[in-house]
Amino acid sequence: MTQMPTSNLPNRKVRREAKASRLPLRLALDRPKRNPTRSSLSRREAIFGYLFISPWLVKLVVFTIGPMLATFVLSFTHFKLGSPIRFVGLDNFARMLTADPSFWDALKVTVTYAAFAVPGGLVLALLAALLMNQNLFLVKVWRTIYYLPAVVSGVAVSLLWIWIFHPEFGLINTALCFVGIEGPGWLVDPDWALPALILMSFWAIGNAMVINLAGLQSVPTELYESASIDGANSWQKFWRITLPMLSPMLFFNLVMGVINTFQYFTNAFVMTQGGPGRATLFYNLYLFMTAFRYYKFSYAAALAWVMFLIILLITLTIFKSSPYWVYYEATRQQRKKR
C-alpha cells in the first residue's frame, strides 16, 4: 500500500486537479503543494530530488534524446565516417522503398515471424500456465522444468539449436526418422529456416508462462465459486472469468512479444546470418549489417526510424484496442467508488 503524506488526502480540489491533469490519482496525490518553492525545505528537497535522479537525466539527454534526434537528422544525410556530412533529403527513404529488396525481405521476415511466433507463444504460454495451475503431482518440479529453457539464453542456446536442427543427425530429424518421416533441411532450407526459428521460440515461453501463472493464481476464487453456484461449466468459467481476469497479462505479453520481435538478433546472427539467401534476414540483423558491416550509417539511421515508426504504430494500435478486450479490475473498482 502506498503511504500518502497526510496533508495530501484526496479532497475535491485535489481530485479535480488530478482529473484535469489526466494523471492517475495516486501520482497526482504525490504532487507538491501549491507554491512549492516558497519554503526553503521544499526547495532543498527539490534540489536533492534532481541530484538523486541526475545519473538518469544525464543518460536521458546524452544517450537517449540526443541520439534519437541525431538518428533522425542522420537519416536525411549521407554520412561516412571521416568525410563531411552531406544533406540528401529523402534520398535514403526513397532508396529504401524502391531500390532495396533487402528492406522488404527484412520486413517480410520480421512480420512473418511476429505473426506466427507471438500469437503462438501467447497461446502456448497460456496453455502451459493453465496446466501448471492444476493440482498435479510434483507440480513444483514441473514448473521448474517448464521454466528452465527460459533461464538459459544467448549464443549457447543458439549453438545448441543449430545442432538440434542438423538435417541428418540433429535431434528433430532423428526423432522424425524414428516415425518414418524424412525431416526437412531446417536451417539450410530457405523454406524451413524461418519456421525453424519460430519453433525455437516456442521453447522459451517460460517467462510468459510464469506471468500468466501469477495472473491465474491472483483470480479470486469467489468468482469461480459463485459461477459454480450459478451453474457454469468449466468452459464458461474459463471464457467468462479466467480469460478476462488474465487479459492484462496477455496484453503485456503481446506488447512485449511485438517489441522483442523487432529486436531479434542473436539467433539470426549466430545461426543463419540472415540466410539461406535472405530467408531469415530479420530487420534488426539487416540494420546491424548496414551499419557495422557496410558502414552505411545514414541509411541505417533511416532504417532505424522506419522501424521505430512501425513499432509505434503497432503498439499504439494494440493500446487503442485494449479497452475492448483488456479488463482491469482495479480501475473498475475505482470507478465504482466514485
Partner 1 sequence: MIKSTTKSRPVLTRKVKKTASRCLLTLLALPAGMLFLAPLLWMLSTSLKDPRFVFLYPPQLIPDPVRWDNYYKALTNMPFHLYAWNTIQITVLCLIGHLLTASLVAYGFGRLRFPGRDFLFIVLLSTMMLPTQVTLIPTFVIFRYLGWVDTFMPMIVPDWLGGVPFTVFMLRQFITTVPLDLDDAAKIEGCGYFDIYRYIILPMIKPALAMVAVFVFFWNWNDFYYPVIYINSREKWTLNLALNFMKRLDPYGWAFQYVELIMAASVVVMLPCLLVYFLAQKYFMQGIVFTGVKG
Which residues ranging from 261 to 300 are in contact with partner 1 (CB under 8 A)? 262-263, 265-266, 269-273, 284, 287-288, 291-292, 297, 300
Site residues for partner 1, window 125-144 (CB under 8 A)?
Answer: 128, 131-132, 134-138, 142, 144
How many Å from the N-terminal Cα to the C-terminal Cα in the chain? 20
Amino acid at 323: P
**DSSP secondary structure letters along 166-201:** -TTTSHHHHHHHHTT-----GGGSTTTHHHHHHHHH
Shortest separation between residue 268's beta carbon and partner 1, angstroms: 11
- Note whether 52 binds partner 1 by CB under 8 A: yes
Query: With respect to partner 1, which residue has the nearer C-beta, 48 or 87?
Result: 48
Residue bearing cell 479535480: 16
- Note whether 301 binds partner 1 by CB under 8 A: yes
- Note whether 245 binds partner 1 by CB under 8 A: no
- Note whether 313 binds partner 1 by CB under 8 A: no
Q: Name which position in 171, 228, 234, 332 contacts partner 1 (CB under 8 A).
A: 171
Contact by Cβ (8 Å): 130, 216: yes
Query: With respect to partner 1, which residue has the nearer C-beta, 304 or 326?
Result: 304
- Dihedral angle computed from the Cα positions of residues 170, 173, 179 and 181, in that order, rounded to the nearest 10 degrees: -160
- Note whether 117 binds partner 1 by CB under 8 A: no
Residue bearing cell 481530485: 15
Residue 52, judged by CB atoms within 10 A of its CB (0-12, 13-18, 19+), counts as exposed
- Note whether 58 binds partner 1 by CB under 8 A: yes
- Note whether 76 binds partner 1 by CB under 8 A: no
Distance of alpha carbon 282 from alpha carbon 58, whole angstroms: 32
What burial letters (b/e) apply to 319-337, b meaning 16+ CB within 10 Å?
A: eeebeeebeeeeeeeeeee
- Note whether 162 binds partner 1 by CB under 8 A: yes
Distance of alpha carbon 122 from alpha carbon 241, whole angstroms: 18
Q: Name which position in 77, 92, 110, 253 contacts partner 1 (CB under 8 A).
A: 253
- Note whether 25 binds partner 1 by CB under 8 A: no
- Note whether 327 binds partner 1 by CB under 8 A: no
Site residues for partner 1, window 179-238 (CB under 8 A)?
Answer: 187-188, 203, 207-208, 210-212, 214-215, 218
Shortest separation between residue 293's beta carbon and partner 1, angstroms: 11
